[in-house]
Amino acid sequence: MTLFSPEQLATLESQSIELPSWAFGNSGTRFRVFGTEGTPRDVFEKVADAAEVNRLTGLAPSVALHIPWDKIDDYAALRRHAEDLGVALGTVNSNTFQDEDYKFGALTHEDDRIRNKAIAHHLECIDVMDATGSRDLKIWLAEGSNYPGQTDMRSRQDRLNDSLRQIYARLGENQRLVLEYKFFEPSFYHTDVPDWGTSYAQVATLGDRAMVCLDTGHHAPGTNIEFIVMQLLRLGKLGSFDFNSRFYADDDLIVGAADPFQLFRILVEVIRGGGLNNPDVAFMLDQCHNVEAKIPGQIRSVLNVQEMTARALLIDHDALSAAQRANDVLGAQAVFMDAFYTDVRPALAEWRESRGLPADPMAAYAASDYQATIEAQRVGGTQAGWGA
Amino acid sequence: MTLFSPEQLATLESQSIELPSWAFGNSGTRFRVFGTEGTPRDVFEKVADAAEVNRLTGLAPSVALHIPWDKIDDYAALRRHAEDLGVALGTVNSNTFQDEDYKFGALTHEDDRIRNKAIAHHLECIDVMDATGSRDLKIWLAEGSNYPGQTDMRSRQDRLNDSLRQIYARLGENQRLVLEYKFFEPSFYHTDVPDWGTSYAQVATLGDRAMVCLDTGHHAPGTNIEFIVMQLLRLGKLGSFDFNSRFYADDDLIVGAADPFQLFRILVEVIRGGGLNNPDVAFMLDQCHNVEAKIPGQIRSVLNVQEMTARALLIDHDALSAAQRANDVLGAQAVFMDAFYTDVRPALAEWRESRGLPADPMAAYAASDYQATIEAQRVGGTQAGWGA
Amino acid sequence: MTLFSPEQLATLESQSIELPSWAFGNSGTRFRVFGTEGTPRDVFEKVADAAEVNRLTGLAPSVALHIPWDKIDDYAALRRHAEDLGVALGTVNSNTFQDEDYKFGALTHEDDRIRNKAIAHHLECIDVMDATGSRDLKIWLAEGSNYPGQTDMRSRQDRLNDSLRQIYARLGENQRLVLEYKFFEPSFYHTDVPDWGTSYAQVATLGDRAMVCLDTGHHAPGTNIEFIVMQLLRLGKLGSFDFNSRFYADDDLIVGAADPFQLFRILVEVIRGGGLNNPDVAFMLDQCHNVEAKIPGQIRSVLNVQEMTARALLIDHDALSAAQRANDVLGAQAVFMDAFYTDVRPALAEWRESRGLPADPMAAYAASDYQATIEAQRVGGTQAGWGA
Amino acid sequence: MTLFSPEQLATLESQSIELPSWAFGNSGTRFRVFGTEGTPRDVFEKVADAAEVNRLTGLAPSVALHIPWDKIDDYAALRRHAEDLGVALGTVNSNTFQDEDYKFGALTHEDDRIRNKAIAHHLECIDVMDATGSRDLKIWLAEGSNYPGQTDMRSRQDRLNDSLRQIYARLGENQRLVLEYKFFEPSFYHTDVPDWGTSYAQVATLGDRAMVCLDTGHHAPGTNIEFIVMQLLRLGKLGSFDFNSRFYADDDLIVGAADPFQLFRILVEVIRGGGLNNPDVAFMLDQCHNVEAKIPGQIRSVLNVQEMTARALLIDHDALSAAQRANDVLGAQAVFMDAFYTDVRPALAEWRESRGLPADPMAAYAASDYQATIEAQRVGGTQAGWGA
């Protein structure tokens, strides 16, 4: 416990990481989606699983929804269900990539009928937000093209801007729009919002409540992601994170699993730029537990973010600044790495216990009967997944 | 016609490119598989579509099968069906990535029951080859892991070798095994056969009829693929190509669409190394027509290979060698690029007509009623796809 | 000649590509800089070589300077020298990467003394511009860090902005500042202007005469560069190109040599966005002729740009738009590729002759005695290179 | 101390990492080589600096030489100098990239005169090895080409093989040849030994004492390097490591600095495959301290390897195997990561002291007067660097 100051512990205590409802459903690759016992059949069961993650970690007080995967008739009932379980409903994610009409675009489509349909879908998402009390509408666009010449990229940009303006205009005064960018996939030649610059240029035309969403898996190989974190915080436009990790493409692995040091560097810049526990910057997971257990996968993920935040908080900023000012490269690096290499796990475990949480949430879950119960109960029906 | 010498035309006339049956079925990404009218419901219809490509181009006299997607009771009937349509049945592709048992491996699996099942699947594929008259068994392994530590990579290599030996032992004396490598996907941390070196080291232990399959989309960013073509031909181990193209990952776009000059360089090395019209080196497509029409997509693809082969044949080798020997960098490059920039299309169109083929196979297909017919006929049933 | 319309020929006739003075000096890698006979010893000889490229191609009417490599006492004399040879002095490039003081930064340096020195260097460059009649000040910053933690990226951004404002304020009303971005090198962890988004965000704060410079070799692997061209033109902030090509990193190869189709796509977007023969968008080469002859290397380069521009101009836009609107993927691609595969070289050769230029500028140079003359004359002295 | 078992400590005690003499000289990029006070002027001073690293860490008992950079008349004197300082002379590195003759190749050159000269250089290196008592001849080839068509890759492979055979034949019975591969640079289109497969295929034809050298910075983006470590150990052909780290290309940063977790994974596979403290597998650094202090840079580097080896040794292999066998993905990953996240530094510091070494070698160097002494003494002369 003496590892952390009271201020650092207060910071850690305030940390919250939103869970995506779809992380509890099945996911996979174009080659195969493997099912698992106990997988939720509907959004109520997804929220229950998310609440279990929060119960054991104290880190995940809200759940993001995906429309239409989580579309239901009575959002008020879902909201009560969530609140009963100690969590809130969070970001609403739109989906414009699974309707036949959207094969060649949605918010960028040349055909007004289709584009208006996609806009209407987003307005419907805002209706959901009104019902769930959600603040953020997150827009990830799968749109693009597979072949050079297939489409006119320039006019798509203009139509995108028009579509976003219409959606933005519908937002409530306490609601926001966050626009996610992605390097590639499912389009393989061009993507309409491929980089932070495009997302930034687009949202900058909308207004103060339009922000950029940074998914840590959506960059070109070698991209210095923490630089982008720094820049977007500096520009006042970092609206939210989608955390995951990757070795190759958008692998959607557990955050911190592929390159822990990268996660450390990202969190250092978050703290440096005032983005931690800043209501303007939402922390969220976006992952696919293709081969690992889903609920423990989410527990592991939020713990990874917590532990790495704790390491980042340990940087001795006075020593670091002094070494930086002196251009003492190795000295500065030593201060930086000292925080990374510090084993924060025992202190965090102790601190969790002091707050009435399990010292080891992974072990606590394994020792509980939650998994056995859901495997016994969730028989029949259709397991939730991306295709649903 | 005077563009090409009689020898060059003879070379072009002998060229054949095998079509994958699955190119005529639906494909997509993890986000969505879009269907299209007229899509085959079974392997007979796939073969019919492939035969149509061959009829219009004279370039595609065989069709590769994928087991179990193309599994049927009576392969003799399928063989007659194909022969009636003027094509042969070609390479048989195994599938060890869609059975629940294979979630954590197949030919590499630690559990003997599962590994033996995977071996048995390959022996069954050889049975199919016996019935179809196919020469090549192509093995692409989706196996690997998503997280460091998840599995022991070393012992998997050893088990893979043992599995391959058992499969190889079952081959007929005129049959071959070709082992494909892939950089990543569907595994996101390690792949059991990730690079040509691994495939080469594995097949080298099996025997003369075990070769490497090079899929042009299965490399790390920036890889000089034509170097690998050169090296495998030099080592006598280039067994076959899976042609496609890519901008990012294994995008499976139409061959030559993403980087035509790369295709040119590959074909130059094929010719340089004696790999063209060499029975030891099979040319095959492996593509996904996610957004474009499938039959025209295949026509376009084989024409791309033909046109680029024609360009590669036009290199003035005497001039090139002289410039190379003189270290005249720009002179050598000029000879090389002159062939690439020559417009071979008019001469090829004229030559096609002289052989009783349509000058423009794409236009001929559009003008035919084939597409309208299959769209009218192929109603009901389940469209073929990867999941079938 | 009938290949091109009069309008297209007029467009081609207006095309100009600025040559970098340093392309005529020696360059190399960290491993070795090889020298060549006839290499200029000073900027007057560089300008003479550049003028020779222009004399043979009619494409390169101006020469960019690099300060201090091209620093002299009497720029008026240099200007007269250039004009006598039929060329103008163009963009002035600053250099903040070779002074000992700049080891850890220049325009971003924490030490005001060093930062002010770097600002003063740019003001001196503007003095040069006043003397040479140059319009553009191009700033490429080598600044960054090699190790995480070495420096504070955020405050460097702020200091960079302040420095740029001071420089911008000194510009004459007909002068511009173009800020180049680069993915990495010579810094290996972070670069202060690593991507177009950062350059855009920085210059957007300065004013209308601050623009982004896009070097085609300064992107992450797989980046869709033509998308950025499209976006910057759309945003009105594409100030200039540094053309070259690459297989791996910032290889600085001859433009169009590594991926001709990429150059085609870029030029298509330039034309689409109104960037061709638009005074706001400067075309320039930035290459390293490490192993090939330098003057022919530059001739080859401007011809590559010209030929590819000619191909891009041949796109049948009506047919392309119709196919795009119909979501006819293969039809649109066919129109696009038809232009790329058209052999424009004979028509361009004929057209060159009609304008009094050599049909084949490469052959004309080889047949001239220019190279023999400079090899004989340029004996003694120090060959020009990056090291000044 | 109780963190490690006696066996683990014995393993750590046996660890040795060879230092490259050139790490103590100046290095840089093509843009600039910055000098530093106290830089050695000759190989005797380099060896002295290396010995200082060993004195403080006990980890670096040998120094690799680079010919001709370290070429002298009396190697016996150098050997005595080294032994007096407690270190040995190690691997001899050849250089075929700085002579004018080698502009277009050396061991692959088409001109027999040049190729024989390059072979003779390697024979001379073996003479040096005889004099220094070195075991390993390390060959890294800068050879390749910058433009497609520039050269014939295939015949270069054949000539390379012939050259290597001639060199191999000259080796003493206790000497080895290790062939390094590299993805790119200084060649930008093709490299004659670009990947482990090529190096493996080449050395496999030579004999048992020809092995592959794996430089951790010489791979394509995203390459799973530990897989290659595993495979080469499995094939019995991993001869040596060149350790460094990278974010982008061959950045040559301090080992473990860019991706500590990757270094961990590599060392896990080294241990798994029996490569640790195995005389067949040499550990060496190959780095460039462009901006950081050189001697502390080397101290930091060997400590990074030691610390990460210590973490890798802590893996609970029984628990890991059990989880792997059960396909408990998260369980296996937890065991793996537990070792990585354990803070081994205090135990290592204590253990160092118990062996008469400084607990903190970095602090010990800073507290010593070594740096001040060499800065005072090494005045005049020419600082060593790559060009020397």
Residue B372 has pLDDT above 90, yes or no: yes
The rounded mean pLDDT for chain B is 97
pLDDT of residue B388: 47
Is the Cβ pair A292, D259 closer than 8 Å? no
D186 touches chain C (CB under 8 A): yes
pLDDT of residue A360: 98
Residue C173 has pLDDT above 80, yes or no: yes
Q: Which of C330, C335, C343, C344 to mutate to test the interface with B (most CBs of B within 10 A)?
A: C330
Pseudo-torsion of CA B129, B135, B136, B137, nearest 10°?
20
* 3-state SS assignment for residue C65: strand
Give mean pLDDT in consecutive 10-residue pieces for chain D, a chain of 388 residues: 91 98 96 94 98 98 97 97 98 96 97 98 98 98 97 98 98 98 98 98 98 98 98 98 97 98 98 96 97 98 98 98 98 98 98 98 98 96 84
C379 touches chain D (CB under 8 A): no
* 3-state SS assignment for residue A139: strand
Nearest CA in chain D to B328: D150
- Judged by average pLDDT, the poorest of B33-37, B177-181, C74-78, C170-174 is B33-37
Report the distance separating Cα C184 and Cα C188, nearest Å.
6
pLDDT of residue D388: 46
* SS percent in chain B: helix, strand, coil, step 5: 45, 15, 40
- The set of chains that have 3 or more CB pairs under 8 A with A is B, C, D
Enter the tokens of residue D356. Answer: 């008469």
pLDDT of residue D308: 98
Is the Cβ pair A97, B32 closer than 8 Å? yes
Report the distance separating Cα C198 and Cα C219, nearest Å.
13
Q: Which of A26, A31, A286, A383 to mutate to test the interface with B (most CBs of B within 10 A)?
A: A31
CB A292 within 8 A of CB A26: no
Looking up tokens 């521009």 gives C309
How far is C-alpha D315 from the chain's CA centre?
25
Nearest CA in chain C to D254: C147
Nearest CA in chain A to C235: A201
Report the distance separating Cα C272 and Cα C92, nearest Å.
28
Is the Cβ pair C248, D290 closer than 8 Å? no
pLDDT band at C303 (very low <50, low <70, confident <90, very high): very high
Q: What is the C-alpha radius of gyration for chain D, rounded to an integer number of angstroms?
A: 21
Chain D CB contacts of A362 under 8 Å are 330, 334
Is the Cβ pair B188, A247 closer than 8 Å? yes
A40 touches chain C (CB under 8 A): no
Nearest CA in chain D to C29: D30
* Cβ-nearest to A31 among B32, B98, B253: B98
Looking up tokens 């590959």 gives B266
C388 touches chain B (CB under 8 A): no
Is the Cβ pair B335, D149 closer than 8 Å? yes
Number of H helices, E strands in chain A: 14, 10
Is the Cβ pair B329, C292 closer than 8 Å? yes
Is the Cβ pair A291, B146 closer than 8 Å? yes
D292 touches chain A (CB under 8 A): yes
pLDDT in tens, A14-70: 999 999 999 999 999 999 999 999 999 999 999 999 999 999 999 999 999 999 999
* Cβ-nearest to C265 among A148, A228, A231: A148
- Judged by average pLDDT, the poorest of B380-384, C370-374, D52-56, D347-351 is B380-384
Phi, psi of C172 (to 5 degrees): -70, 165
pLDDT of residue C2: 84
pLDDT of residue B59: 98
Report the distance separating Cα B3 and Cα B346, nearest Å.
10
Is the Cβ pair D152, B321 closer than 8 Å? yes
Share of chain C above pLDDT 90, in %: 99
pLDDT of residue B387: 72
Residue B2 has pLDDT above 90, yes or no: no
Mean pLDDT (whole number) for B63-91: 97
D149 touches chain C (CB under 8 A): no
Any idea which fold B15-310 has?
TIM Barrel (3.20.20)
Chain B CB contacts of C343 under 8 Å are 341-343
pLDDT of residue C1: 55
pLDDT of residue A2: 84
Report the distance separating Cα C143 and Cα C102, nearest Å.
8
Is the Cβ pair A340, D296 closer than 8 Å? no
- Stated pTM of the model: 0.98
Pairing of strands C144-145, C190-191: antiparallel
Instruction: Name the stretches of chain A with pLDDT < 50.
Output: 388
Is the Cβ pair A195, C197 closer than 8 Å? yes
Q: How close A333 gets to chain C, by Cα (Å)?
A: 5
pLDDT of residue A387: 72
Whether the predicted interface score ipTM is above 0.90: yes
Q: Which of C111, C114, C152 to mutate to test the interface with A (most CBs of A within 10 A)?
A: C152
Q: Which of A34, A188, A191, A252 to mutate to test the interface with B (most CBs of B within 10 A)?
A: A188
Is the Cβ pair B249, A246 closer than 8 Å? no
Q: Which of D22, D31, D66, D150 to mutate to test the interface with C (most CBs of C within 10 A)?
A: D31
Report the distance separating Cα D216 and Cα D93, nearest Å.
17
Domain definitions of chain B by residue range: 15-310
Q: How close A259 gets to chain B, by Cα (Å)?
A: 11
C-beta atoms surrounding C8 within 10 Å:
14
Chain A CB contacts of D296 under 8 Å are 330
Phi, psi of A305 (to 5 degrees): -65, -40
Enter the tokens of residue D318. Answer: 């029984």
Is the Cβ pair C291, B329 closer than 8 Å? yes
Residue A291 DSSP symbol: S
Phi, psi of A119 (to 5 degrees): -65, -45
Return residues 229-248 of C near B (CB < 8 Å).
247-248
Is the Cβ pair D149, B219 closer than 8 Å? no
* Cβ-nearest to B234 among D157, D228, D233: D157
Pairing of strands D144-145, D190-191: antiparallel
Nearest CA in chain D to C34: D100
Is the Cβ pair C34, D251 closer than 8 Å? no
D30 touches chain C (CB under 8 A): yes
Is the Cβ pair D362, A330 closer than 8 Å? yes
Enter the tokens of residue C82. Answer: 């250039």
